[in-house]
Amino acid sequence: MLTPPAINLAPPAQDRLGVLSSTLPVVLAAPQVVLHGDRVATVAEVWAAEPWPHEGWDRRIHFFDGTERTLNWMALLDALNFCFWGESPRPRALERGTVPAAPPDPDSIPRWRVQWRGTWYNGYNALAVALRRAVEAGMPLWDAGYLARLDEATLAAILQPDPDANGTAVPIPLFAERLANAREVGRVLLAQYDGQFANVITAAQGDAVALALHIAAHFPSFDDVATWRGPAGSDPPQTVALLKRAQILVADIASAFAGQGWGAFTNLAELTAFADYKVPQLLRRLGILDYAPDLAARIDRLELIPPGSPDEIAIRAATVWGVEWLRRALAARGMAVAPAAIDYRLWLAGQQTHAQDRPYHRTRTMYY
């Protein structure tokens, strides 16, 4: 739902991804999440007066040799790029009428972590480090045949968490899904693309949108869509496309190759936000996104929000449109900024915690 002042709600005339078109009915009807148009305008005004943060592929943590090997490694990276948080403390039951306690310190929530070259990493950065150091240890993670035959023990060793000073090590969640996804990358590349992700890019003719759709169509673990039945739950089912990891793989390749060579895509600006955990948390910090009281209390108590539930779909749909409205508000101020760049700015800000931060929603899923 949207509060005034409203921003143009129409999806673009050409929405080949189908993400904006299919998420819009959710945003307009779902009561669980509210987007505040006045805050969109305020944030856009502030951002328009500030330097935009630099986007770049961090070669300190990523493998990059500039060849087709890099592309295969990146396909593996984003096939495994989801859900890094450990088990949350059990939420306490609240008596009727009581106010929830302050949420736990985000730093106290267990996360899968690795240490490399004297620095601790968690989340996505830890995954990049784990896969890079595996390559440096002699594992050919760019080889489709190797990935198709990857065994459980080898992947477990690659993703082994490092213990902290207290000997605590949080295992990476959803390990079985990660193993299946890694094997899928190798298997599909071998069966359809002569073992090279470069041929996937060629099949999409360098079109960013076509590539994202191609990835989702041919690599099933990237096919991030949901079914929504409306606020009452009894309306005819509607397919909601989100395509987080398919889109982010395209954006990552463009960034890694600095828009040249394999990363020289057309239509990058048609990609949407990558609806995950951190971006809605940052939209909430900025006052753009708000939750209905019951959902807010559940998120703040770290209750699990089931994947594919109306609440989860509403959160992700609002994330997509919160970023899209920021894009439109910036465009009205003379700034042409792609949704992926807005998403990156929000994600980057989310790497620094603030005292006023509320927790991000907890959904166990392989899609983000």
Q: What is the pLDDT of residues 25-77, one digit of tens each?
A: 999 999 999 999 999 999 999 999 999 988 788 999 999 999 999 999 999 99
The answer to whether residue 366 is domain-embedded is: no
Q: Which of 327, 367, 368 is nearest to 346 (CA)?
A: 327
Assess if residue 362 is contained within a domain.
Answer: no
The residue written with tokens 């150091």 in the block is 133
* Average confidence score pLDDT of the chain: 92
DSSP string covering 229-298: --TTS-SPPEEEE--HHHHHHHHHHHHHTTTSGGG--B-GGG-----SSHHHHHHHHTTSEEE-HHHHHH
Please state the rounded mean pLDDT for residues 350-365. 89
pLDDT digits (tens, 9 = 90+) for 76-128: 999 999 999 987 555 444 444 444 455 555 556 788 999 999 999 999 999 99
- Other C-beta atoms lying within 10 Å of the C-beta of residue 236: 6
Give the number of domains in the chain: 1
Q: What is the DSSP string of 117-182?
A: TTEEEEHHHHHHHHHHHHHHTT--TT-HHHHHT--HHHHHHHTPPPP-TTS--PPPS-HHHHHHHH
pLDDT of residue 108: 64
| 84 is a domain residue | yes
Report the DSSP pairing between strands 113-116 and 33-36.
unpaired
Residue 167 confidence (pLDDT): 86
**What is the model's pLDDT at position 99?**
47
* Alpha-carbon span 366 to 161, nearest angstrom: 19
What is the pLDDT at residue 228? Answer: 96
Q: Which residues pair with 360 in a beta bridge?
A: none
Q: Name the residue range of residue 16's domain.
A: 2-89+100-350
For 303-353, the pLDDT digits (tens) are 999 999 999 999 999 999 999 999 999 999 999 999 999 999 999 888 888
Does residue 240 sit within a domain? yes
94 domain-assigned: no
- Whether 83 maps to a domain, the answer reads yes
Distance CA 124, CA 202 (A): 27
Q: Calculate mean pLDDT across residues 11-38.
A: 93
Q: What are the pLDDT digits (tens) for 223-254?
A: 999 999 988 777 789 999 999 999 999 999 99
Indicate whether 207 pLDDT > 80. Answer: yes
Averaged pLDDT, 129-153: 98
* CB-CB neighbours of 257 under 10 Å: 19
Cα within 13 Å of Cα(253), Cβ side: 32
Give Cβ neighbours of residue 198 (< 8 Å, ≥ 6 apart). Answer: 68, 71, 262
231 in Cβ contact with 30 (< 8 Å): yes
Predicted model pTM: 0.92
If phi > 0 it is left, if psi is from -120 to 50 it is alpha, else beta; for residue 24 that is alpha
One-letter amino acid for residue 184 of the chain: E
Q: What is the pLDDT of residue 55?
A: 78
Q: Is 38 a catalytic residue?
A: no
- Residues 226 and 251: their CA atoms lie apart, in Å, by 22
Of the candidates 78, 207, 276, 300, the residue annotated as catalytic is: 276
pLDDT for res 54: 84
CA atoms within 13 A on the CB side of 98: 8
What is each CA distance from 158 to 189, 243, 252, 285, in whole angstroms?
21, 26, 22, 35
Answer whether 247's CB lies under 8 Å from 212's CB. yes
Confidence band, pLDDT 50/70/90 cuts, at residue 355: confident
Band of pLDDT at residue 197, cut at 50, 70 and 90 = very high
Residue 21 lies in a domain: yes
Q: Is 167 part of any domain?
A: yes
CA dist., res. 133 & res. 130, Å (int):
5
